[in-house]
Structure 1
Amino acid sequence: MSTARSGLFGKVEFTVLLAALIVAGGLWGFVELMELARDSAPHGFDTEILLALRTPGDLATPIGPHWLKEAMRDLTSLGSAAVLIYITAAVIIYLLVARKTLAAFFVLVAIAGGQALNSLLKLGIDRPRPEVVPHLAHVSTLSFPSGHAMMSAVTYLTLGALLAQTVPDRATKIYVLSVAVLTTFIVGVSRLYLGVHWPSDVLAGWCAGAAWAMLFWLVARWARRTQAASLKPM
């Protein structure tokens, strides 16, 4: 019995430690990228990556087969406000119907708070969009951090972590979290392919979004355990 408890305790503590490391690493990475974004001239790697994704001699044409551009436009919509609001609303309504009020509250606060934070960061950094290559999608907001990258990380990682807690086996948990990470990655890459963000914008969005999602996961985990402890008979 004591061995089983020790193993479970070690597993839980490792999960918490990993989440805490993601929060710390995300914050550190964001601060470093923020300093880069405040430079008057773009960093070399920002420009080189955007140019590498375009056809030499014709910067209006992205590399790859002709259908890839439309595919990237479709995939980038996975990080759009309309899609994320729809997914978030559907999940929150489900949680309320299932009488999981605390989980619904944390999902709402995590995602709405992430959106508010992203807007404040954009205004605070005030970085213009890249003009190295023509944009292949309409944009109207500031560039740093990437809203699509950050909100994809906030939304999909928050929901992935929530869903992973409801499945019984490790393989399914890994699959759920992998899909969340992959979707976040694809959205960020699509912003680079379409030429609407500097690579450092996307990296900063991933860092901030992952840190925010894991921070709320830690808070939600603590709240659930506190609530469960309070309901135990004396």
Structure 2
Amino acid sequence: MQDFTPESAAGPQPGRWPRRLIVGVAAVALLALAVSSLFADGGAHTLDRQIMLLLRNPQAPDDPLGPHWFEDVMRDMTGLGGIGVVVGGGLLFAGYLWLRRRRGDVLILAGSLAGAQLISAVSKLLVARPRPDLVSHEAQIYSASFPSGHTLMATVTWVTFAMLLAADFEDRRVRDYLLLIAWITAIAVGCSRVYLGVHWPSDVLAGWAIGALWMVVLSRLVPRLRGR
């Protein structure tokens, strides 16, 4: 998924599929760990609770650790996976692709984001996990807990942006940097969801895992996401 060099006529470049395979295996492992929390009373779910409480004042669980300004920073971070940023950013980036006469990439972008949103909605509906009630919520919530929709959408949105934007650059270091920024953003969004008390850590793990798996699938089905 992170290799953007063009494929040769003979087939995939050596080493590219193993890299995607590693990402896929890691994502499946994270997803399995996240799913286990749905069925374990004393296993992974206990870890969920321990991690969430570590981010709160021991004397006042409704008070997140850190100064008030840091809570505002976390709310800013969580917004990077929100529907407003995803749709707004997607439209702005689609305009850039259109001006670059990359009309096919506009469709790829739309399919990537719409597919991820559908996966998120269906997963939430099927699992129907309640939101955490261990601590107070520092952000508004509108849907079920598993998986974290903000985390899933941040992963897919920013990684898709990076993969499509990378086609405009020859320098491999620039392309790797774009992907690095995308993944850092996705990680920050996921961590903010736990910090704000609106998701269990396993919800976030599932969001990262499903988002990564969706990008692996797309990169196999859409050659445009693998090279110029």
> Which category of TM-score, normalised to the shorter sequence, fits these structures?
0.7 to 0.9
Q: How far did 1:46 drift?
A: 0.1
Selected match of 1:72 from 64, 71, 74: 74
Change (3 A) 1:14 1:174: same
Deviates more, 1:211-220 or 1:194-203: 211-220
Name the CA distance, whole Å, in 2 between partners of 1:165 and 1:210. 20
Q: How far did 1:140 drift?
A: 1.9
Name the CA distance, whole Å, in 2 between partners of 1:212 and 1:121. 13
Q: When the two structures are aligned, how many residues end up with a matched partner?
A: 220
Q: Residue 151 of structure 1 aligns with which residue?
A: 153
Q: Residue 3 of structure 2 aligns with which residue?
A: none
Unmatched tracts of structure 2, length 5 or more? 1-7
Selected match of 1:103 from 87, 96, 105: 105
Calculate the TM-score normalised by the size of structure 2: 0.87
CA contact (8 A) 2:158 2:183 kept: yes
Selected match of 1:131 from 108, 130, 133: 133
Q: Residue 83 of structure 1 aligns with which residue?
A: 85
Matched, 1:23 2:12: no
CA contact (8 A) 1:84 1:155 kept: yes
Write out per-residue CA displacement over residues 1-48 of structure 1, whole angstroms, 9 at most, x where no aligned residue. xxxxxx9x8993323331243234323432442232244677111000
Selected match of 2:63 from 58, 61, 83: 61
Name the CA distance, whole Å, in 2 between partners of 1:15 and 1:164. 16
Higher Rg of the two aligned structures? 1
Calculate the TM-score normalised by the size of structure 1: 0.85
CA contact (8 A) 2:124 2:144 kept: yes
Q: Residue 37 of structure 1 aligns with which residue?
A: 38
1:48 partner SS: helix
Deviates more, 1:114-123 or 1:22-31: 22-31
Of all paired residues, the percent bearing the same amino acid is 35
Deviates more, 1:95-104 or 1:56-65: 95-104
Unmatched tracts of structure 1, length 5 or more? 1-6, 229-234
Change (3 A) 1:20 1:99: farther
More helix as a share of residues: 1
Q: How far did 1:137 drift?
A: 0.7
Counterpart code for 2:148: S
Change (3 A) 1:223 1:59: closer
Q: Residue 201 of structure 1 aligns with which residue?
A: 203
Q: Residue 3 of structure 1 aligns with which residue?
A: none
Name the CA distance, whole Å, in 1 between partners of 2:161 and 2:106. 11
CA contact (8 A) 1:23 1:215 kept: no
Q: Residue 216 of structure 1 aligns with which residue?
A: 218
Q: Residue 179 of structure 1 aligns with which residue?
A: 181
